[in-house]
Amino acid sequence: MPKLTEAAVLKALATVQEPELGGDLVSRNMVKDLVVDGTRVSFTIELTTPACPLKDEIEARVRAALKPVGADPIEVSWGATVRRSTPSTPQMLPGVKNIVAVASGKGGVGKTTISVNLAVALARAGASVGLLDADITGPNIPMMIGAEGQPIASPAGKITPIEANGVKVISIQFFVPEGQPIVWRGPLVGGAIQQFLRDVEWGDLDYLVVDLPPGTSDAQLTLAQSVPLTGAVLVTTPQMVALADVAKAMAMFKRVSVPILGLVENMSGFVCAHCGEVTDIFGKGGGERYAAENGIDFLGAVPLDVTVRQGADVGVPAVAQSQPGPAAAALEHIARAIAGKVSIQAAREQPVLTVS
């Protein structure tokens, strides 16, 4: 067999297609630090998100492509550089690459639970993440993520967010006495959201997750008109009344030209811890059917799980628990699916190399 060269290795890797983004690893500029020493080959694959859902598949394809050219051993390392998904840099948030809004048509479907676990799952995967509580009159995020204290001023005179579970968090709850209601009209709510975008020291973030209030109101419009959103994640339960309302939320985002990243079905079924029987308290499969009928991605279903509620009450999200329940795996899968969707959107903005 002829001597193994760097050119031969790159030629082999150029046959490996990125399963989500399309294009091969070489033209996508994902192969870094290539070293060929005899037949030993080592390199780093730079992913577009540390939460890549297809890492194992990519590695299997790489090894299959390099084996015929005589590479042995093959040492694959992993890196990640999250790309910006919008062509323009938001003036309010110059260091934030992707802004993901989590929304629902009605309250009580677990939208904040999804927001918190999405943010924490992305952070645990290695991304830099912020979480903005835009549900101004019902701010539950500090309790659910375990964020305590009061933000202080940064050296630049901005608000420093509280960090909890590896996530930078801001909420109106940090600024009002415990138990005090926030009775504000729409313009005040919109103003608070703009201040959290403009006056918080978010720094450099791969993802800013925004937990919106339920429905279609000033908060949603303020966010969509203030910064370029990567997209919206819609949360529903399987029952028809929730699906009827999520349709309104989807129509609103389409009207303001915000992409729909997909739909999450929460509370999809209760699994008895004693007998294993599944009880579909809110119906079955409504979210998946709705997504298929309306041409949007179904991101996953989250079962009813007592550990989610227990963790939320004490500030330990399901994906961060030492003994996670059945919902944690579903929530991590959804986070990876959303990260993959964002990467696909960002890839459309990136030039592809021409490989000779």
| Domain co-membership, 121 together with 247 | yes
8-17 per-position pLDDT tens digit: 999 999 999 9
Mean pLDDT of the chain: 91
| Domain co-membership, 59 together with 196 | no
192-201 per-position pLDDT tens digit: 999 999 999 9
What is d(CA 316, CA 226) in angstroms, rounded to the nearest whole number?
Answer: 31
The pLDDT, as a whole number, for residue 29 is 92
The pLDDT, as a whole number, for residue 355 is 45
| Domain co-membership, 221 together with 335 | yes
| Domain co-membership, 256 together with 324 | yes
| Residue 270 phi, psi (nearest 5) | -110, 125
pLDDT (average), residues 320-332: 93
Say if 126 falls within a structural domain. Answer: yes
Structural domain harbouring 106: 99-347
Say if 88 falls within a structural domain. Answer: no
| Domain co-membership, 46 together with 188 | no
Say if 92 falls within a structural domain. Answer: no
| Domain co-membership, 64 together with 153 | no
Residue 272, SS3 per DSSP: coil
pLDDT (average), residues 319-343: 94
What does DSSP say about strands 40-47 and 31-37: parallel, antiparallel, or unpaired? antiparallel
Say if 321 falls within a structural domain. Answer: yes
60-107 per-position pLDDT tens digit: 999 999 999 999 999 999 999 999 987 666 677 889 999 999 999 889
Pair of tokens at residue 328: 């944690």
The pLDDT, as a whole number, for residue 216 is 85
- Among 27, 52, 80, residue at a domain's last position: 80
183-239 per-position pLDDT tens digit: 888 889 999 999 999 999 999 999 999 999 998 888 898 999 889 999 999 999 999
| Domain co-membership, 222 together with 328 | yes
Stretch among 121-135, 146-160, 218-232, 270-284 having the lowest mean pLDDT? 270-284
The pLDDT, as a whole number, for residue 348 is 74
pLDDT (average), residues 303-331: 93
CA distances from 11 to 14, 187, 233 (A): 5, 58, 39
Asked whether the predicted pLDDT for residue 349 surpasses 70, the reply is no
Band (pLDDT 50/70/90 cuts) for residue 20 is confident
What kind and span of H or E run contains 214? none
Q: What percent of the chain has pLDDT over 90?
A: 74
**CATH of residue 208:** 3.40.50.300
Say if 148 falls within a structural domain. Answer: yes
pLDDT (average), residues 41-55: 93
The pLDDT, as a whole number, for residue 325 is 85
Asked whether the predicted pLDDT for residue 1 surpasses 60, the reply is no
What is d(CA 343, CA 62) in angstroms, rounded to the nearest whole number?
Answer: 20
| Domain co-membership, 177 together with 314 | yes
Asked whether the predicted pLDDT for residue 356 surpasses 50, the reply is no
| Domain co-membership, 220 together with 126 | yes
Domain count, the chain: 2
Say if 354 falls within a structural domain. Answer: no
| Domain co-membership, 242 together with 293 | yes
What is d(CA 344, CA 341) in angstroms, rounded to the nearest whole number?
Answer: 5
Under 8 Å between Cβ of 166 and 317: no
